[in-house]
Amino acid sequence: MPEINFELTGKDGLARTAKFKTPHGIIETPTILPVINPNIPTLGINEMVSVGAQAFITNSYIIRRSENLREKAERNGVHSLIGFDGPIMTDSGTFQSHVYSDVEYTNLEIVEFQRKIGSDISTILDIFSEPDFSHEKAEYAVNETFARMSEIPHGVNDTILAGPIQGSVYNDLRKKSAELMSSSQAGYLPIGGVVPLLENYRYDALVDIIINSKLNASFSKPIHLFGGGHPMFLSMAVLLGVDIFDSASYVKYARDDRMLFSDGSKELSRISTLPRWSPLYGKFTVKEIKDMGVEDRKKALSLHNLAAIFNELQEIRERIFQQTLWQYVESKARSHPYLFRAYKRILEYSEILEKYEDLSKKSTFFYFDRYSDQTPYVKRLSKFTGDFSTPAKEPVILGDEHWHPGRPHDKGIKSAYEHSGRPFFIKWQNTLIPLELDETYPVEQIITAGGELPSGDIITPLNGLQLSESKIRDFDIDRVRVVADYQFGPGTGAKLFPDNTVVTRSRNTGRIRGIFLNSELLATLRAHDGFFTMTIAGARKLKDACPAPSHRIVVTDDSAEFNSKGFNVFFKFIRSNDESIIAGNEVLVVDSGDNLVAVGKSVLSGKEIKHFRSGVAVKVHKGVLQGEEKETESD
């Protein structure tokens, strides 16, 4: 089997863009593999490539059963048969086996046939599990599918084996199947047995299946959703970690005179005009399409439908780049009740999904309504607030008339804070946030429809506070400590920033900029998200404050030498890492003796890092052998 080369190029939570290398070329994900029936071609390869197709899937069982097709494929290869020299995946006949009870070939025979005809990705003859299967019957499908993967001889080096994840609607079986297939020689992990759910718009059940498959599978292998080709559900599936889809929906809908759009399908008879993105726009009027013969109309609508799918995928890829996929899914979920039901199911997993979200995003946080309170970033904030609260002291709660996002505190608030020992909170949508985090993502970086103060909470007027005559605390020191606690864990702030810490502010914005100790710069507070970028001096203090393995990436000694000079850390040189690392957070790069080598930003979460062997894992911004920053306290 070829070495799996799945290199990330971008991420947004579990969603990701990547380059997947196959024997016949690279597949850029997320994407879809259009299904090609070699007996009944509807569109030409060049037509499909013109709207975005990079790779295709066809059925090896159909090819083998046809004497004519089999001879051509065995003689010249499946690429010649299809007429495409890029990546081709072949299915095994599992669905035919399920429908017709049996196929005339064994698992070993069909896999060997796929290898023989030059398939880039070959699928084993797995056991299909229906949504209404009993747990016992579904578990048999899981175990037998894994047994069939295990019987494939190792060392086949010219095809990538696809090991389907089965388990019906049972979360424990999807977990088991994902773990088994990830431990096998499978280099590609399709989620199987979902077509009946897709056909009946049971997207909420699909959410359970995808999450329990994805989070228990190897993150370094592509996740494929068999049959998941409707543009309405693509963004939600990608949000949950699906990389590749396949579908014949573009032809099936065309056969019924239906046209695909990003929010659903529409009957041709109810269409008045074509969208500009459609390849039919400017070539035909709607009336001309209606007046076509059956085959010509099917071909025209198939091309439109395939373009609709790739148009949606292009939007999704751009959303991942901008890190706005979650808000895209959240807004799109309102377009159809089935999607909204599925979105509410996703929110039930928010605390789990939060572990895979970056520390902050490029994008502004969109707050729509009370459902936004259940999103991962709000869950992260709410958990911190719950841990931060001290019942011994009554909190001061500031409403909109006292606090405004993005505006510096007026002297009255800061003075009241420094002359009071009570914790200060701000009313932020439907939750309460420590005042010290008011410039930290996403508290300030928000566009909102507005929220209400949680019931039972009373805004405390500032003029009603009992204040001490002398200053009893420093707001700036408390702010950097609380941000450090949120970024690195409770209690870290006081260890990083003692009472003699000096905080400097930008002359232009008035915001905190540098944090010094004994004239040495420890960290800078980033203006765009309110989190710290650590210097080597700050990294040393963080290392002392947090015992191993916290916040650590342990690299080989050979890599350590290069990383100490400021070079990035690559996955293949990582020996171990803290699994609780948050993607986008500062991490300590250390050698096998726990000696600090560099400090940088982690590309992935700690749970994902250990799976990858290709690409950059840490973007180093300072190595111990590089000079320290020149910023001074007077800047």
pLDDT in tens, 580-627: 999 999 999 999 999 999 999 999 999 999 999 989 999 999 999 986
Q: What percent of the chain has pLDDT over 70?
A: 92
Is pLDDT at 211 greater than 70 in this prediction? yes
pLDDT of residue 586: 98
pLDDT of residue 38: 86
Marked catalytic residue, from 91, 120, 243, 591: 91
Backbone angles phi, psi at 454, to 5 degrees: -55, 140
Answer yes or no: is 566 within a domain: yes
Q: Does 309 share its domain with 356? A: no
Residue 181 and residue 194: Cα distance in Å, rounded? 17
Label residue 391 by pLDDT band (50, 70, 90).
low
pLDDT of residue 1: 52
pLDDT of residue 154: 84
pLDDT of residue 168: 97
Is pLDDT at 101 greater than 60 in this prediction? no
Coil, strand or helix at 228: coil
Amino acid present at 533: T
What value does the mean pLDDT take over residues 346-363? 96
Residue pointed to by tokens 């914005």: 509
Is pLDDT at 83 greater than 70 in this prediction? yes
Q: Is 610 exposed, middle or buried (0-12, 13-18, 19+ CB in 10 A)?
A: middle
Label residue 453 by pLDDT band (50, 70, 90).
low
Is pLDDT at 215 greater than 90 in this prediction? yes
What value does the mean pLDDT take over residues 142-147? 97
pLDDT of residue 411: 67
What value does the mean pLDDT take over residues 13-25? 97
Other Cβ atoms closer than 10 A to 45: 17
pLDDT of residue 432: 87
Whether the upstream peptide bond of residue 30 has omega within 30° of 0, thus cis, is yes
Answer yes or no: is 104 within a domain: yes
Answer yes or no: is 628 within a domain: no
What value does the mean pLDDT take over residues 172-201? 96
What value does the mean pLDDT take over residues 334-347? 96
Q: What percent of the chain has pLDDT over 90?
A: 80
Q: Which of 269, 298, 333 is the last residue of a domain?
A: 333
Query: And the tokens for 464?
Result: 């009603």
Write the CATH number for 189: 3.20.20.105
Answer yes or no: is 632 within a domain: no
Write the CATH number for 525: 2.30.130.10
- Which residue intervals of 437-583 are DSSP H helices? 475-488, 492-496, 536-545, 557-563
The answer to whether the CB of 188 falls within 8 A of the CB of 225 is no
Q: Does 441 share its domain with 500? A: no
Of the candidate ranges 119-133, 158-172, 422-436, the one whose mean pLDDT is the lowest: 422-436
Q: Does 494 share its domain with 465? A: no
Q: Does 402 share its domain with 469? A: yes
What value does the mean pLDDT take over residues 436-444? 94
The answer to whether the CB of 560 falls within 8 A of the CB of 597 is yes
Q: Which of 473, 500, 526 is the last residue of a domain?
A: 473
Is pLDDT at 454 greater than 70 in this prediction? no
**Per-residue pLDDT tens digits for 117-127:** 999 999 999 99
- Which residue intervals of 184-268 are DSSP H helices? 195-199, 203-214, 231-239, 249-255
DSSP-derived pairing of the beta strands 160-162 and 121-123:
parallel
What value does the mean pLDDT take over residues 491-504? 96
pLDDT of residue 97: 57
Q: Does 180 share its domain with 296? A: yes
Q: Does 467 share its domain with 502? A: no
What value does the mean pLDDT take over residues 231-247? 97
Label residue 394 by pLDDT band (50, 70, 90).
confident
Is pLDDT at 27 greater than 70 in this prediction? yes
pLDDT of residue 457: 58
Label residue 631 by pLDDT band (50, 70, 90).
low
Domain count, the chain: 3
Annotated catalytic residue 158: no
Convert 99-116 into a string of H (helix), E (strand) and C (coil).
HHCCCCCCHHHHHHHHHH
Label residue 572 by pLDDT band (50, 70, 90).
very high
Residue 225 and residue 345: Cα distance in Å, rounded? 18
Answer yes or no: is 629 within a domain: no
pLDDT of residue 543: 97
The answer to whether the CB of 564 falls within 8 A of the CB of 475 is no
pLDDT of residue 171: 98
Answer yes or no: is 341 within a domain: no
The answer to whether the CB of 358 falls within 8 A of the CB of 324 is no
pLDDT of residue 466: 85
Answer yes or no: is 526 within a domain: yes
Is pLDDT at 629 greater than 60 in this prediction? no
Residue 577 and residue 582: Cα distance in Å, rounded? 12
Answer yes or no: is 635 within a domain: no
Q: Does 428 share its domain with 502? A: no
Label residue 406 by pLDDT band (50, 70, 90).
low
Q: Does 568 share its domain with 617? A: yes
Q: Does 76 share its domain with 208? A: yes
Q: Does 274 share its domain with 366? A: no
Label residue 408 by pLDDT band (50, 70, 90).
low
Coil, strand or helix at 157: coil
Is pLDDT at 560 greater than 90 in this prediction? yes
Q: Does 300 share its domain with 396? A: no
Residue 603 and residue 487: Cα distance in Å, rounded? 16
Is pLDDT at 535 greater than 90 in this prediction? yes
Is pLDDT at 448 greater than 90 in this prediction? no
Q: Does 181 share its domain with 207? A: yes
Higher per-residue confidence, 101 vs 35: 35
What value does the mean pLDDT take over residues 245-265? 95
Range of the domain at 45: 5-333
Query: And the tokens for 100?
Result: 């017709």
- Average pLDDT for the chain: 92
- Which residue intervals of 127-222 are DSSP H helices? 135-150, 171-183, 195-199, 203-214
Coil, strand or helix at 251: helix
* pTM for this entry: 0.94
- Which residue intervals of 398-526 are DSSP H helices? 411-418, 475-488, 492-496
Q: Which of 333, 361, 395 is the last residue of a domain?
A: 333
